[in-house]
């Protein structure tokens, strides 16, 4: 059975209103890395709440302490304030709209003339880029035949709109400008990181060398890896002879609350699956985002090494924006 056929079958068999409850049961090993975010209920610990907003429910006030903005205190000012001060030495003040309590992780160059639509706090992304060795080269419209061609890659960063309640982890693709490939809440990012840790651990184990069990197709010389849930078909063409994780009974599904929903009551969905061709030396992890009422899917594949790098960058960003709570 080909991968596209499996994906179609999995999508048809999934109930639109079914909650992605299986994504909320991380293993003990993964819980040590992302568990604090998954269990985080007190957003005040993020120290990123906009000034003047209140915490839901009972508890202490979340009003952060005022940050000094004088030139003599510049070393203790968040990076975005320091940059604004340097860019506005003649005025001696930060942009009027910035507020007294920007997040410590922001490195954006805020200026007075920033329009409301671009008033975002941003983390750096230069050291959180992943080259995609399984993707096609990137080119711009009109250059498909003769290039130039660019290396495909992902980059990850944290963003927070001026009045947003907490940061988001966003994933962009390639050099072309546009909307993020993924918009993730902190919890969603932690869930994806947890699942990637599990898949990478399983996918790093070499394929078995034991003979295939009795009744296996003639083309299957060796046994399946422990994570394979595929019922191999003797009539399957060579290109579709993949070992695959359980995309039927126990798919890895994560609701995406910041993406366009698939229906009135059905959020966008993120799917993770691992495949390995029976003659291949490495596993591939498929990322698939299903959005919109027409269930449009966007997907890309990473090697196990690239997927582990993705999880590392997610963990790094969560630690950065939560002040070490991740």
Alpha carbon 281 to chain centroid, angstroms? 26
Strands (E), 278-309: 284-291, 296-303
Q: What is the pLDDT of residue 277?
A: 95
Q: 216: which 2 tokens?
A: 């296996």
How does pLDDT run across 39-48, given as a tens digit for each residue? 754 444 444 4
Mean pLDDT of the 146-152 span? 81
Residue 59 clears pLDDT 50, i.e. is over it: no
What would be the CATH architecture of the domain defined by 3-44+120-322? 2-Layer Sandwich (3.30)
120 vs 109: CA distance, rounded Å: 10
Q: What is the pLDDT of residue 62?
A: 36
pTM: 0.74
94 vs 107: CA distance, rounded Å: 14
267 vs 264: CA distance, rounded Å: 8
- Reported as half-sphere exposure (CB side, CA atoms, 13 A), residue 238 has a value of 2
Average pLDDT of the chain is 77
Q: 175: which 2 tokens?
A: 């050099």
Tell me if 59 sits within 8 A of 81, measured CB to CB: no
272 vs 164: CA distance, rounded Å: 28
Classify residue 206 as left (phi > 0), alpha (psi -120 to 50) or beta.
beta
Q: What are the extents of the domains in the chain?
A: 3-44+120-322
Looking at the chain, the whole-number percentage of residues with pLDDT higher than 70 is 71
Bigger pLDDT: 53 or 42?
A: 42
The three-class DSSP label of residue 127 is coil
Which whole-number Å values give the CA distances from 325 to 34, 67, 177, 185, in the listed order? 9, 22, 32, 15
How does pLDDT run across 200-248, given as a tens digit for each residue? 999 999 999 999 999 999 999 999 999 999 999 999 999 999 999 998 8
Burial of 275 (0-12, 13-18, 19+ CB in 10 A): buried
208 vs 192: CA distance, rounded Å: 27
How does pLDDT run across 151-173, given as a tens digit for each residue? 888 999 999 998 899 999 999 98
């Amino acid at each position: 059975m080909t991968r596209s056929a499996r994906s179609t079958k999995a999508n048809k068999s999934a109930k639109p209103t079914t909650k992605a409850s299986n994504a909320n049961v991380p293993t003990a090993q993964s819980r040590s890395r992302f568990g604090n975010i998954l269990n985080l209920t007190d957003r005040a610990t993020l120290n990123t709440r906009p000034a003047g907003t209140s915490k839901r429910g009972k508890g202490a006030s979340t009003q952060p302490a005022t940050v000094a903005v004088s030139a003599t205190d510049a070393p203790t000012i968040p990076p975005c304030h320091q940059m604004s001060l340097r860019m506005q030495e003649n005025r001696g003040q930060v942009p009027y709209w910035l507020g007294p309590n920007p997040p410590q992780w922001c490195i954006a160059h805020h200026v007075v003339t920033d329009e409301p639509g671009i008033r975002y706090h941003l983390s750096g992304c230069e050291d959180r880029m992943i080259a995609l060795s399984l993707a096609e080269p990137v080119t711009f419209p009109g250059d498909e035949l003769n290039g130039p061609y660019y290396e495909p890659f992902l980059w990850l960063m944290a963003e927070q709109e001026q009045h947003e309640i907490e940061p988001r982890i966003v994933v962009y693709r390639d050099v072309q400008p546009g909307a993020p490939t993924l918009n993730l809440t902190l919890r969603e990012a932690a869930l994806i990181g947890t699942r990637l840790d599990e898949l990478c651990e399983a996918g790093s184990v070499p394929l078995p060398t034991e003979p295939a069990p009795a009744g296996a197709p003639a083309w299957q010389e060796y046994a399946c890896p422990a994570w394979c849930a595929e019922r191999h078909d003797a009539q399957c063409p060579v290109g579709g002879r993949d070992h695959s994780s359980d995309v039927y009974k126990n798919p890895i599904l994560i609701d995406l609350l910041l993406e366009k929903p698939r229906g009135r009551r059905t959020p966008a969905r993120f799917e993770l699956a691992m495949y390995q061709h029976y003659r291949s030396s490495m596993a591939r992890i498929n990322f698939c985002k299903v959005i919109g009422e027409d269930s449009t899917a966007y997907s890309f594949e990473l090697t196990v090494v690239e997927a582990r790098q993705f999880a590392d960058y997610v963990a790094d960003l969560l630690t950065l924006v939560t002040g070490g709570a991740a």
